[in-house]
Amino acid sequence: MSHLTFIHAADLHLDTPFEGLGRLAPEIAEVLRDSSLAAWDALVTLCIQREAGLLLLAGDIYDGEERGIRAQLRFLRGLERLSERGVRVLVAHGNHDPHDGRWSAIREWPTHVTVFGHRAVETFPVVDDEGHQVAVVQGISHASRTVTENLALRFRRTSEPFPQFGLLHCNADQDPYHPAYAPCTLDDLRAAGMDYWALGHIHRHRVLSAGDPWVVYAGSLQGRSLKPGEVGVRGVVVGSVAGGRVSDIEFVPAPHVRFAELEVEIRDVADTPRLLDRMEEEAQAAMEEGLAVGLVARVKLVGRGPLHGDLAAPERLADLLKTMREEARERTPFLWWSGLVSATRPDLDRDAIRRRGDFSAELLQLTDRLREDEEALSRLAQQEEAALQAGGVRKLVARVQDEPKHLLDDAETLALERLEARSEQ
């Protein structure tokens, strides 16, 4: 039986501009702008290093038609390298780069490149170096930027006795972080009879089904912001066909600028210099995970500790962020601190306060009773919700409904802080 190594990638978004970050940090704007192109170059190199016979690209090669010549030529040069090595590349376009876009500057593709059309699902046979067929790939491109049809329903397994792949840009099972373009369910994908679904559109790597069939999102090659779907390690999926089946897959991190949300604990941090050290340590750990060539990080300070008072004032946080950026300016790989927020709590010994028998102790007894009384807690939440609705502050209503205990914690801490501060005067 022939063996085939395949690589599944998606959502390259070549030449994505990072406009907001560029305005904040002009010194790294060019690095960010080049990062998606560098990630594509690294993918091409990985295909050659792994001796892949097949590269599946599941949509959104470009960020949009306004990206122009730069992204298209970089993509073409990579395809030419792959074609020279005999790597077969199959492309299905997505919502950012629909197939009928008249902006494309490329009219002729390299020999081993196939771009699926948008009118119907097309089938392509995959052969090995000796000319023996080893797999079948079905695919379809998006016809426009807003495809709402369930394209997965068009796929059906053929009668050919080879492993069969489906290549599609879609939102399976209603991922909340991405638009519902080409929406489908996991059951829809299973019903088509494919052995491996190479999906795009969701920027986080996800395995929706681990075999029978494989249903896999490779995730994007390069994060684009600090939104939940863009943070974390980026990469591709490497798999193999052996013994007439898709036998194994592996997520392989690719070199990329990583976007990360870091939580830094202030417990046992004695002073601001040590806090700066701890944030640097967290940033370094994030860069070492997943081949990061740079890091854009937003920090949330959490926990209880002696630094809480120093971090409570917004102007102090702004000054600290400015210092962090100045210290990281010459760092290689680059580090850009995008933001700094504090969700810390005062270093209060609640057990000691409970033993004192004063007004603060009575406050803690009251909040302890509320935490155990679900009915009373519900009434408190309803009162707060009514007050917010009356005041027109509707954005906070959901938190009152979903997190009444968290609100109680916040209220208890605020009251204790003020009582304890007054008792020390």
Q: What is the largest CA-CA distance in the chain?
A: 87
**What is the residue-averaged pLDDT of the chain?**
88
Token representation of residue 364? 């803690």
Is residue 343 packed enough to be buried (19+ CB in 10 Å), middle (13-18) or exposed (0-12)? exposed
CB 96 within 8 A of CB 60: yes
Q: Domain segments of the chain: what residues?
A: 4-254, 257-345, 350-424
Residues 6+ apart with CB under 8 A from 84: none
- In tens, the pLDDT along 175-234 reads 887 888 999 999 999 999 999 999 999 999 999 999 999 999 999 999 999 999 999 999
Of the pLDDT bands very low, low, confident and very high (cuts 50, 70, 90), residue 423 is: low
Residue among 84, 212, 192, 196 at smallest CA distance from 134: 196
The confidence score (pLDDT) of residue 306 equals 87
The confidence score (pLDDT) of residue 19 equals 64
Helix (H) or strand (E) holding 257: strand 256-265
Going from the C-alpha of 35 to that of each of 117, 217, 254, 282, the distances in angstroms are 29, 21, 11, 22
Residue among 221, 210, 198, 202 at smallest CA distance from 152: 198
Fold of 4-254: Purple Acid Phosphatase; chain A, domain 2 (3.60.21)
The confidence score (pLDDT) of residue 20 equals 67
The confidence score (pLDDT) of residue 400 equals 43
CB 154 within 8 A of CB 189: no
**DSSP string covering 219-256, please?**
-BSS--SSSTTT-S--EEEEEEEETTEEEEEEEEE--E
Whole-angstrom Cα distance, residue 211 to residue 204?
19
Of the pLDDT bands very low, low, confident and very high (cuts 50, 70, 90), residue 115 is: very high
- In tens, the pLDDT along 381-411 reads 777 777 666 655 544 444 444 556 667 777 7
The confidence score (pLDDT) of residue 28 equals 81
The confidence score (pLDDT) of residue 354 equals 87
Average the pLDDT over 237-253 and give the result: 93
Alpha helices in 271-396, H assignment, sequence order: 272-288, 308-311, 314-328, 350-356, 359-372, 374-391
pLDDT of 17 higher than 80: no
Token representation of residue 77? 């040069």
Token representation of residue 176? 């909340």
Helix (H) or strand (E) holding 197: strand 196-200
CB 230 within 8 A of CB 178: no
- In tens, the pLDDT along 318-338 reads 999 999 999 998 888 899 999
pLDDT of 297 higher than 60: yes
